A and B are shown apart, each in its own frame.
Chain A
Amino acid sequence: MLSLPIDIQPKDAVKEIKEINDKITKGLEFLSNLKDEDVDIGTAPKETVYTEDKLKLYHYLPTQDDLLGTPLLIVYALVNRYLVADLQEDRSLVRNLVNEGLDTYLIEWGDPAPADKYLTVDDYVNGYVDNCVDFLRERHGVDKINVLGICQGGTLATCYAALHPDKVANLVLTVTPIDFHPGWDKQNPEVGLLFNWGKGVDVELMVDAYGNVPADVLNFTFLLVKPFALNFGKYHDMLDILDNEKAMMNFLRMEKWLFDGPDAAGEAYREFVRDFMRDNQLVKNEKMIGDRLVDLGNLTMPILNCYATADHLVPPHCSKILGEKAGTDDYTEMAIPSGHIGIYVGGKSQKMLAPGVAKWLRERA
């Protein structure tokens, strides 16, 4: 006869509940005294050196003597905020880059308002990014600068470098999609799921209906990839850390970053989903930006391509394809054992990503 394999004794269950409630009591004391501004993210010291419309170009204040002469510009994605690159003091890509002696700049796109709904990928790449690059070339008196792209920002940086190779000394990409058709992995269907969904979305209708695509819609899509783990599981796990203020603050910072994203400018979103995700034009060398073709063969500068080995949003092969397509003779890959977000906030990658990038750039200075 089958016996019930759930052997939770009443006294054990009550004990377990009591333990959880003790944690809740402590956790609530902590939470109830917390203001939203106490959950501080993006704290690396910086100054705004250039603004255009809603864009701000930040310069992170150097901490080292032996600064690399060529500045590094970080191009962030158009979804979510750059703050994941500076989540907290001991988990911060930008702090690590600065501490490695890189003169680091970062573009914050700002929050698109309804009046920004007509911004296109051309406006971002040949407008904003190009203006920031020109500003830095002038500011530092150099012909070329180093560019580092983050996720979708890496795709934009790739397009920029292919269109303006004369202005980019070295191109560094992190978890950057180049091939947007990952195929289905039946054993691990969550791998590349977002791109596979993206192919089927009627983005024309979506942008017509929304104008700018709300951040909540984008967040909801991200959460659906692992609905139970991301909507329930992590909050169940949160019960374990409720009485640990440091761990709770880390948890809250990540929550704040996750759910405090900007809307996406409508036309740029439409173009990105249609041309990049659905038609996969970039990897086919078919993508036009403005009136110019983005030819990956024009990527003749040295390229460092960093990918996360357990990335289910941008599977490694979607990034690594660049090695076959780029025109450069100096192409390097760096594998970081983490997931898509872990590459920026994971403990291990703090010791790998920025030091690896700095070393690679110094070798080419």
Chain B
Amino acid sequence: MADWTEQAEQMLKTWTEAQKNVWDSWQDLAGRAVGAQPKPQAFAMNPMEWFQQSMSLWTDPAGVARDAGRQVFGSQFSMMRNLELLTRAWQLVAPKLDAGRDWRSPLSGFTTNWFQQLTGASGDMFEMTKDTQALWQSYLSEWGPLLKPWLSSALEATGSGHLGEMMLGGSTGLGRLLTMGQDDFQTGPFVGFAEIPSIGVTREHQAKILRAFDAFVDLRKVMLEFNRMTTGALSKAVEAVMEALAEKSKQGEKIRSVRDLNRLWLESADKVFTEMYASEEYLKAQRELSAAGMSYKLMQQTVVEMVLKGLNLPTRSELDDAYKTLYELRKEVKALKKAMHEQTKPAMEAKAETKPTAQNAIKQVETQKTAKKAPVRKKPAARVEPAV
């Protein structure tokens, strides 16, 4: 009988062959598809993306069918990926388990790496939270050209170590804004920004941007903690699968299909995650992530409002005021209509006693219905106002 190394190598070979088969089939499938397609060379670069683009072209662009199509490819892809993950994990675990040595620590390192590669969440993120310059770059990238003048002033100030200068609102970046030299804004869509200095780029404006930056940093920190917990749970899920596999191995049981292995993985992962969800540690991390996300969103709005005011465009706060007035007026009108209806009701009821009404007509239809086999209901008048 082959030893565990040979067995695992064999499995990896299986995985590679199966993977190749998937790609070949997909390419074959794509070859048969009609209509426009993304460039074939894109397939080699990123098959998943290529197929997702294809799905968008082949199916109703706004439809549920397109989403289902994407899931089709995603499902097959993730099944193969799970097979590779679990086989590689077994390759790592089996000899240690066999020798009665600790297997959880090396497995944890392996799975953490694996998931970080998959999700793109790497240790760099942690390093970045310690590096103001890198964080500023990241922050700036989220805002694009909209706030470039203000943000670049802040960036230059921090870059040269002049945080205090930036906090006081002065920097070379700001100067460049005022002179509008070769700035992108001269030709870009925000050419109207030339008016910005007239509203005064003051300490208050800088403070708003700084507060938004603080909220951005807070969000990054709690995201990091949240991702750490999630990755930890994924590692535990792999552990749970390894334990289940070891148990099967002892019992002489076998998993004989990709989908059965996949099912084992999904069930184990859900169990581990659901247990984590009920833990105080997770609830705290979830609360903090949600609060940090919302706080950052509010800070973003503050900064955007600053820009909108500069362009003499309505802000969300102003719209909210208008909505509130609209809401209150609507309620008042409804209440008045209702009161009027109550006042006129007795007179209408008195009339109704002497004259056939729409209500009586409805009742007659109701009565007739019982006499017909397949009654066609006479449509009563629809109403488009509150019951007034």
Contact = CB atoms under 8 A, between A and B. Distances in A.
Interface of A: 1-10, 12-14, 16-18, 20-21, 24-25, 27-28, 31-32, 34-36, 39, 47-53, 61-63, 65-67, 69, 114-119, 123, 127, 131, 134-135, 138-141, 184, 186, 189-190, 193, 196-197, 200-202, 205-206, 208-211, 224-229, 232-233, 235-236, 238-239, 242, 248, 251-252, 255-256, 259
Interface in B241-255: 245-246, 248-250, 253-255
B344 to A, nearest CB: 14
B29 A65 contact: no
Contacts of B87: 6
Contacts of A14: 17-18, 21
B383 A232 contact: no
Nearest to B25: A21
A131 B335 CA distance: 11
Contact of B29 (A10, A24, A66, A119): A24
B309 interface: no
Interface of B: 1, 3-4, 7-8, 11, 13-15, 17-18, 21-22, 25-26, 29, 32-33, 58-60, 62-69, 71-72, 74-76, 78-79, 83, 86-87, 90, 94, 97-98, 245-246, 248-250, 253-259, 261-263, 266-267, 269-270, 273-275, 277-278, 283, 286-287, 290-291, 294-295, 297-298, 301, 316, 319-320, 323-324, 326-327, 330-331, 334, 359, 362-363, 366, 369-375, 377, 379-380, 382-387
Contacts of B65: 31-32, 34-36, 39, 252
A111 B327 CA distance: 16
B298 A209 contact: yes
Contact of A28 (B29, B94, B330, B370): B29
> Most chain-A Cβ atoms within 10 A of its Cβ — which of B69, B294, B366?
B294
Chain A interface SS verdict (over half): helix
B11 A8 contact: yes
A117 B324 CA distance: 8
Contacts of A5: 245-246, 248-249, 253-255
Nearest to B245: A5
Nearest to A25: B29
B270 A229 contact: yes
B326 A115 contact: yes
Contacts of B258: 8, 13, 16-17
Nearest to A190: B274
Contacts of A117: 320, 323
A202 B294 CA distance: 9
12 contacts: A12-B257, A14-B18, A18-B21, A28-B72, A39-B63, A67-B366, A118-B327, A141-B363, A226-B274, A233-B266, A236-B262, A239-B76
> Most chain-B Cβ atoms within 10 A of its Cβ — which of A28, A53, A252?
A28
A28 B331 CA distance: 51
B270 A235 contact: no
A236 B266 contact: yes
Pairs of residues from A and B, 7 with the lowest C-beta to C-beta distance, nearest first? A36-B63, A189-B278, A4-B7, A5-B248, A134-B387, A7-B254, A235-B71
Contacts, number: 278
Contacts of A227: 269-270, 273
A48 B383 CA distance: 9
A50 B382 contact: yes
Contacts of B259: 16, 236
Contact of A8 (B4, B256, B270): B256
Given A13-B17, A118-B323, A138-B387, A6 B86 contact: yes
A115 B68 contact: no
Contacts of A18: 21, 25
Nearest to A22: B25
Given A4-B8, A17-B18, A31 B68 contact: yes
Contact of A52 (B267, B278, B385): B385
A94 to B, nearest CB: 16
Contacts of B72: 24, 27-28, 31, 235, 238-239, 242
A6 B283 CA distance: 36
A34 B55 CA distance: 12
B60 A34 contact: yes
A136 B73 CA distance: 50
B59 A62 contact: no
B372 to A, nearest CB: 7
Given A49-B382, A49-B383, 17 more contacts: A9-B256, A12-B257, A21-B22, A28-B29, A28-B33, A32-B69, A35-B65, A36-B62, A62-B369, A62-B377, A65-B370, A141-B362, A205-B295, A211-B320, A228-B269, A232-B75, A236-B259
A10 B17 contact: yes
Contacts of A36: 60, 62-65
Nearest to B255: A6
B287 A201 contact: yes
A358 B246 CA distance: 54
Contacts of A32: 33, 58-59, 65, 69
